Chains A and B, each alone.
Chain A
Amino acid sequence: EIVLTQSPGTLSLSPGERATLSCRASQSVSSSYLAWYQHKPGQAPRLLIYGASSRATGIPDRFSGSGSGTDFTLTISRLEPEDFAVYYCQQYGSSPLTFGGGTKVEIK
């Protein structure tokens, strides 16, 4: 199965700053079938990005995804207070679908 490694584990930033989250796959993710989710405590995860770079419906354009093969990035251009959460990448190009370990974006 494809193992996804996210870095850093925790990102301490202030509102208005730029966040860059990394997701590295143990083998190539076919057709860039890579998604990103935001997860807040007590809530269900929220789809942000799929196909490595397509924003889901209703997602603000400060969220962007890029990458291919084994290296993917989620960028939040200017952090808003509601963006502090845990972010997971997930590949759906091969079974089993797998998730990364998450990056926590916390307020500095």
Chain B
Amino acid sequence: QVQLVQSGAEVKKPGASVKVSCKASGYTFTNYAMHWVRQAPGQRLEWMGWINAGNGNTKYSQNFQGRVTITRDTSASTAYMELSSLRSEDTAVYYCASAVSMFEQLVIGYWGQGTLVTVSS
């Protein structure tokens, strides 16, 4: 079965960067897109971007103004999301989530357990 296991909670100071990892198992990693979604306290889910795990192509939400970078390591079946220039509003639970199938790469089917990132001075 598809499993996505994320790295642990992080506490960062404003202006710093954070890198969250997501290790996939139970499927062929390079076949499915990996998305990143976050949820700030009391807010709706917010899509950040996705990576084609096969060729490494990425697409990001313009709402992050170039602060987000998604990468992957195919040998480790792991995707990464790095967010820079952190501010307090970036305090949120960050989820990695894979596509539901090879034919529906934009449908988010499987989710990691979430990683809490707290930005505080």
Contacts and interface: CB of A to CB of B under 8 A. Distances in A.
A95 B61 contact: yes
Nearest to B6: A44
Contacts of A100: 44
A22 B73 CA distance: 40
A21 to B, nearest CB: 15
B113 A44 contact: yes
Contact of A97 (B47, B109, B111, B113): B47
Give the interface size bracket for B toward A: 20 to 34
B44 A101 contact: yes
A92 B113 CA distance: 22
B107 interface: yes
Interface of B: 35, 44-47, 59, 61-63, 95, 97, 100, 104, 106-114
30 contacts: A35-B107, A35-B108, A37-B45, A37-B108, A44-B95, A44-B111, A44-B112, A44-B113, A45-B95, A46-B111, A47-B100, A47-B107, A47-B110, A50-B104, A50-B107, A51-B107, A56-B109, A90-B45, A90-B108, A92-B106, A92-B108, A95-B61, A96-B61, A97-B61, A97-B106, A99-B44, A99-B45, A99-B47, A101-B44, A102-B44
